[in-house]
Structure 1
Amino acid sequence: MTELDWPEILLRLGAATLAGGAIGLDRDLHGKPIGLKTLGIVGLSTATVVLLAVQFAEPGKMTDAASRVIQGILTGIGFVGAGVIVHESERFRVRGLTSAACTFLAACLGIACGIGQWKIVLVALALAFVLLTIGRRVERWLHRMLGGRDDSHRVEASTKTGSQDGG
């Protein structure tokens, strides 16, 4: 059994909360239906459950029980993501996919924080912010360069609502 001390528990849970909250802040600043509090709690809750599973493992080893906990988290978080995507509107439109993906990422970051894999957390968080910051511009540029489907109607609609991405 691995007994984590108070500073290690605080570090892992705090990092998971901050990582999820940071992604949520991006969503919130873009007026999306999920924000800092929600994704911070997703990160915190997943890290909490993983810490509970890790407590009963040998140091440095992943047990079957911990593996099942992680699988259950990732399955369950899909339902939260679906709730972000599905909402009523005047016509059928798929919206919120990026926010749902951010929910899934916040859960994964919570898992990584719970296990204490700091390098993975930092690289994943950095890559996520690169994608969230410049992804839409790169996507438009590639569409123009590669002759993809004209997406101007989506850009016009999103600027009318103050949004720059589909989720």
Structure 2
Amino acid sequence: MELSDYLAAALREEFADFGQTQQMLSAALRLMMAALLGGLLGFEREAKGKAAGLRTHMLVTLGATLFVMPLQLDGAEHDALSRVVQGIAAGIGFLCAGTILKGDRSSQIKGLTTSASLWFSTAVGITVGLGYEGTALLGVLFALIVLHTLPLIEPSDKKTPPH
């Protein structure tokens, strides 16, 4: 066997999942859905001038999807998926903590909603990765309602920052 034959065989083995058309199509659709849903949340945050916007939410959602989707498609047991989800949930906490800023007074805390939206984006990515795209879509619709409706009915003293 020549070197090119070894290389071709190695590439075929490494990219064997490309030969499974149905699995690749499923993966592509899930990743597109994750990017779209993360993008909707991120666009809302970016439109409000928040630090974590479109790209951040899309990457968080895509990342969470990629952590669970290959395992789910490969038929991993529930306990294995549960451990991965636990690791994702712990890991996203570090990113979320970086979006929270505390001022001089205890009432001056900013970034909690953006942090929560990143945490929620992670849950959306996991949900999509497990194949529950409809549930993820409903969740994002409810989150957008919360993000757009509740500020309209919040007390006016919460809308203006303290001096």
TM-score (norm 2): 0.78
Given that 2:30 and 2:133 are in contact with CA atoms closer than 8 Å, whether structure 1 keeps it comes out as no
One-letter code aligned to 1:155: K
Find the residue that maps to 2:67 and give its secondary structure. helix
The aligned residue for residue 12 of structure 1 is 30
1:64 alignment counterpart: 79
2:131 match? 116
CA RMSD in angstroms comes to 2.0
Structure 1 residue 79 corresponds to structure 2 residue 94: yes
CA deviation after TM superposition for structure 1 residue 157, in Å: 2.5
CA distance in 1 between counterparts of 2:51 and 2:27 reads 30
Between the aligned residues of both structures, percent identity stands at 31
In the TM superposition, residue 72 of structure 1 has moved relative to its aligned partner by: 0.8
Distance 1:11 1:135 in 2: 32
Name structure 1 gaps, 5 residues minimum: 141-150, 161-167
Q: Deviations over 1:119-139 (max 9, x none)?
A: 211210110111111111223
- Choose which of 54, 71, 82 in structure 2 pairs with 1:36: 54
Q: Which runs of 4+ in 1 moved over 4 A?
A: none
Check the 8 A contact 1:17/1:43 in 2, yes or no. yes
Q: CA deviation at 1:116?
A: 1.0
Which residue of structure 1 aligns with residue 159 of structure 2?
155
1:118 & 1:20 partners in 2: Cα distance? 12
Partner SS state of residue 74, structure 2: coil
Three-state SS of the structure 2 residue aligned to 1:5 is helix
1:144 is matched with which residue?
A: none
Partner of 2:11: none
Aligned AA for 2:43?
L
* Rg larger for: 2
Aligned residues: 141
Distance in 1, Cα, partners of 2:73 & 2:133: 18
Q: Distance in 2 between matches of 1:64 and 1:155?
A: 44
CA distance in 2, matches of 1:138, 1:31: 20
Aligned equivalents of 2:27, 2:70: Cα separation in 1: 10
